[in-house]
A and B are shown apart, each in its own frame.
Chain A
Amino acid sequence: AQSVTQLDSQVPVFEEAPVELRCNYSSSVSVYLFWYVQYPNQGLQLLLKYLSGSTLVKGINGFEAEFNKSQTSFHLRKPSVHISDTAEYFCAVSGRDDKIIFGKGTRLHILP
């Protein structure tokens, strides 16, 4: 079975500063990894996904994430955040023959 831990429930960051949202997973099999974003009063939207290949994955809105198998991490980064990035971010993992598991989410607060 898989599990996902998002280490920070809330992350405040100043506008135009870099941000990293942390995600660790546990699994005994190969996994697929995803980051989703949820803007206020909306459903989730896929930011990026890692299925195989290059460990650095680029997504929409300038976000990227790096798959680190040895540390079982899939941290999300953006070099310069904007006020429009205010949202909740969910890391998710799925493995073969298992359902997708979501982390509890990290709220990103952009400070002016």
Chain B
Amino acid sequence: EAGVTQSPTHLIKTRGQQATLRCSPISGHTSVYWYQQALGLGLQFLLWYDEGEERNRGNFPPRFSGRQFPNYSSELNVNALELEDSALYLCASSSGAGTAGSNQPQHFGDGTRLSIL
């Protein structure tokens, strides 16, 4: 069974640019989660998509957005990049139970490392 795949592995941008990160969930999983892992800050929840809809978002500005496609893959877009957006962005998937409080564990990809120069 293929795991969660993320692309690209690394992404280098400059301030003010826009970044697009992609995630393919495990086959059969309908929920996709995005996290930001910045140095010293642990995992910060960004977004949760299930069945094509945004179900919940963390405490991030609107320039962080995304979507989920009919095949359950997902995209995270970050506009007007700032230096503090430099981080590892992790995507996870689970077989969503229809609520955010799912008892299903999340399966993570290896992340996209976004560096802002």
State the 7 A-B residue pairs at the shortest beta-carbon distance, nearest first: A43-B108, A104-B42, A96-B101, A102-B43, A44-B108, A99-B100, A46-B105
Q: A44-B108, A94-B101, A104-B41 are in contact. Are A99 and B4 (CB under 8 A)?
A: no
Tell me whether chain B's interface is mostly helix, strand or loop, or mixed.
loop
Size of interface on B: residues with Cβ below 8 Å to A: 24
The reply on A32 being an interface residue by CB < 8 A is yes
Most-contacted residue by chain A among B92, B103, B110 (CB, 10 A): B103
Size of interface on A: residues with Cβ below 8 Å to B: 24
Q: List 21 A-B contacts (CB under 8 A).
A: A36-B108, A42-B110, A43-B4, A43-B92, A43-B108, A43-B109, A44-B90, A44-B106, A90-B42, A94-B101, A96-B101, A97-B100, A97-B101, A98-B101, A99-B48, A99-B58, A100-B106, A102-B42, A102-B43, A103-B42, A104-B42
| Residues in A24-44 with C-beta less than 8 Å from chain B | 32, 34, 36, 41-44
Distance to closest chain B CB from A111 (angstroms): 23
- What residue in chain A is nearest B43 (Cβ atoms)? A102
The reply on A3 being an interface residue by CB < 8 A is no
